[in-house]
Amino acid sequence: MRLCCSVRALFETIDFHRSPRYNKTMKVYLDYAATAPLDGEILDKMLPYLKANFGNSDSLHSFGRETAYAVSEARERVAGALGVRAKEVYFTAGGTEADNWAVRVLGEGSVLTSPVEHRAVLDTVRAARKHTVCAVGRDGLVSAQNVADALAPDTGLVCVMAVNNETGSIQPLEEISALCRERGALLFSDCVQAGGALDMKRIAKSCDAFSLSAHKIYGPKGVGALVVKSGVKLRPMVLGGEQERGLRGGTTNVAGVVGFSYALEKAQAEREENQRKIKKVRDFFEERILSALQDGVRVDGLNRVANISHITLKEGNGALLNKLDLYGVACSGGAACSAHSPLPSHVMLAMGRTEEEARRGLRFSFGRETTEEEAAFAADVLIKCVRE
């Protein structure tokens, strides 16, 4: 009853005839950290394997050999973009599966994780392994000292993401990696938000294992990868087939892995240019909001990737998210995977925010197509909604 009343009250406060969405003047998507549209060039690469070349890549006849070759080429393409060996690349159904796989089976003993990890890591650690959690600064960064202070004698695996999916903060993986090697622990990193933002060859040198997802980098949904360095023992995740060298059963998503491989290659090749363009738009967006709302807004995180802007407001974000959407601006209150949870952001809580503050955050994430005009429109709509 309370929910119905609040929704009715929200609709009554909006003049739909003045709503930009109602007038169809503009509709702005600022949730690229949740997913990006499929690149047209990538779709073209995938189409042959959705239509004519449809064979099961594990079949021994010519149809199967043709798609098996495409999968092999895709694995080489991914390895080349990451600077790793093809045999170190395992295709999965996405970043969440890759995170689950790594956390469940890598390393011996207990797991140490940061408190700002994606739920795919945190929930799996809590369900499957003995674990400890290190501290994180108010800036959202996990330092090597934070990790050192929390390492237990039996820690065999350390989990620290490359880029936080809510704040965009880039974690110091090189320093943490050096510490892990000194202490004899493996380092796993969720790199789902890093595939188009950071130099993945550099990241790969620091990690014993890391995960990626295609749909964050303009590739198809439902496909990703777990990269595990040679010499690191990897046990099966999905039984019932010989796919992925007997470690992940199930018919290979040929079109998906082909699309993923081209999307990753393109994302890395165009990374610096895209990040420069996106940062300019994001900074313009933030400056417009900060100058208008002044002490009523805070940008969260430090040392961020260009495409994520997490903003904490004085007002709660529940009704505000709906209102922004009605005015034509799509953003989120944090991770899309936790969008339906009534709980405050675990990332903000870990950064020392109160529960009330942790409920007042909005995540705006930008793509390579986002224009300054769209950023200005979104900023002005947010300012209008907050003032109302």
User: Hey, which residues are catalytic here?
Assistant: 337
Cβ pair 47, 268 in contact under 8 A: no
Cβ pair 361, 312 in contact under 8 A: yes
Answer left, alpha or beta for residue 245, where phi above 0 means left and psi between -120 and 50 means alpha: left
Measured CA to CA, the distance from residue 159 to residue 124 in angstroms comes to 12
Measured CA to CA, the distance from residue 258 to residue 70 in angstroms comes to 7
C-alpha distances in Å from residue 12, one per residue of 3, 5, 6, 7, 323 = 14, 10, 10, 9, 11
- Provide the H-helix boundaries in 143-270: 144-150, 173-183, 200-206, 243-246, 254-269
Q: Residues 245, 249, 253, CA angle at the centre, nearest 5°?
A: 95
Token pair of 257, please? 């892995």
Q: Who contacts 121 (Cβ-Cβ below 8 Å, separation ≥6)? A: 99, 103, 113, 159, 161, 190
